[in-house]
Amino acid sequence: MKRSGDKRGRGRPKTFDRSRVLDVAMDSYWRDGVDGLSLNEICRRSGVSKPGLYREFGGEDGLMDAVLEQYAGAVLEPLTRLLESDRPFGQVLADLIASMTQAERSQPAGCLLAKMRGSPSRLGPATRARLDALRAGAVAAYAAWVGRGKARGEIAPDIPTDVAAAFLDTQFTTLLVQMAAGEDPALLRGQARLAFMGLTAASADGGSDRG
């Protein structure tokens, strides 16, 4: 039960801008990765003192956990919505690849989840737990998507749904990691076309690779 903004308490009014710190931290972790980015640097970038940040989030683990929560709401949830579309499987897939491999983006390239998964030694227990939960949710969403594709005859039924779901997770993650590493988007699009040929073999149609 947080008190609403109008009701001011007794002591000194709070100046700590939680949402701003969260924005800066998410962008920083997303862009630069969790390694080599210290709490001190986060404080520097967001103009907040370290004890202040510690009071608000309880430490590095709490901050990363909160960042992950924000990421889930602001990035993952809209993506999950896309998968629930009733458009043809191959079309949604092509759109996803196109959006992942476009050079100009309003958000940083890559995937925060992948960056965190790649540096498990720096993750606290809360962050790790939420990371696992988010990944499980993503794979479940992929599985549902594949299931609907199968029901429509867009995906060969002899491909196990769980394998296909894990495959989508793997391929998208790899694609985003390589985009974040600065690989050539056109080359990555070519690889993606090759990778997903097996899944969409029934109605395979590449389309143009212009970005």
Q: Using CB under 7 A, list all residues that contact DNA.
A: 8-16, 38-41, 48-52, 54-56, 59-61
Residue 194: which of 181, 182, 179, 209 has the closest Cα?
Answer: 209
**What residue 160 binds from DNA, its own copies, none (CB within 5 to 8 A, per partner kind)?**
its own copies
* Binding of residue 199 to its own copies (CB under 8 A): yes
Q: Choose between 21 and 113: whose C-beta lies nearer to its own copies.
A: 113
Shortest distance in whole angstroms from residue 128 CB to DNA: 14
Amino acid at 61: D
| Pairwise CA distance, residues 154 & 178, whole Å | 28
What is the radius of gyration, based on Cα positions, of the chain? 20
* Binding of residue 207 to its own copies (CB under 8 A): no
Exposed/middle/buried for residue 192 (C-beta within 10 Å: 0-12, 13-18, 19+): buried
* Binding of residue 164 to its own copies (CB under 8 A): yes
Interface with its own copies: number of residues (CB under 8 A): 31
Contact with its own copies (CB under 8 A): which of 194, 202, 207, 211? 194
Looking at the chain, the number of H-run helices and the number of E-run strands are 10, 0
Footprint of its own copies on 34-53 (CB under 8 A): 35-36
